[in-house]
Amino acid sequence: MDESVKNEQIDNDQAGEPVCKGCSVSVRLSPDEIKKLFGETLRVKNVKTVTEEEYQRRLALCRSCASLQYGTTCLHCGCIVEIRAKLAASHCPYPYDPKW
């Protein structure tokens, strides 16, 4: 494990901050961190995105969902909703009754 990740995990544990189950880093992301992640996602070849109108519609549904955690993360798949909602090939992972 990267030393900076270990240090962040210790800092988060001491602060009582929830941590990601997969990597033990804080689950709370700033808007800048989300933009950086999204930029990295778009660099992948052949990634298609939805229109701004569709993106806002999807985000509104995610933000009103009881399964949204920490204001950024979907309980059902662990994704960052601001990224998943922008990707054209994505769908809502809500079981049995997807929201979009």
- Specify which residues 12 forms β-bridges with: none
Q: How much is the average pLDDT of 21-49? A: 73
State the sign of the Cα–Cα–Cα–Cα dihedral 22, 60, 46, 29: negative
Q: pLDDT tens digits for 46-91?
A: 788 999 999 999 999 999 999 999 899 999 998 889 999 999 999 9
pTM more than 0.75: no
Owning domain of residue 73:
3-84
- Count of structural domains, the chain: 1
Look at residue 45 in the predicted model and tell me its pLDDT.
67
Q: How much is the average pLDDT of 23-36? A: 73
- Is residue 17 a part of any domain in this protein? yes
Q: Do 42 and 49 meet the contact criterion of CB atoms below 8 Å apart? A: yes
Look at residue 34 in the predicted model and tell me its pLDDT.
80
Report how far residue 60's alpha carbon sits from residue 57's, in angstroms, rounded to the nearest whole number. 5
* Cα dist from 29 to 32, 53, 88, 97, whole Å: 8, 24, 23, 27
- Is residue 63 a part of any domain in this protein? yes
Q: How much is the average pLDDT of 38-50? A: 77
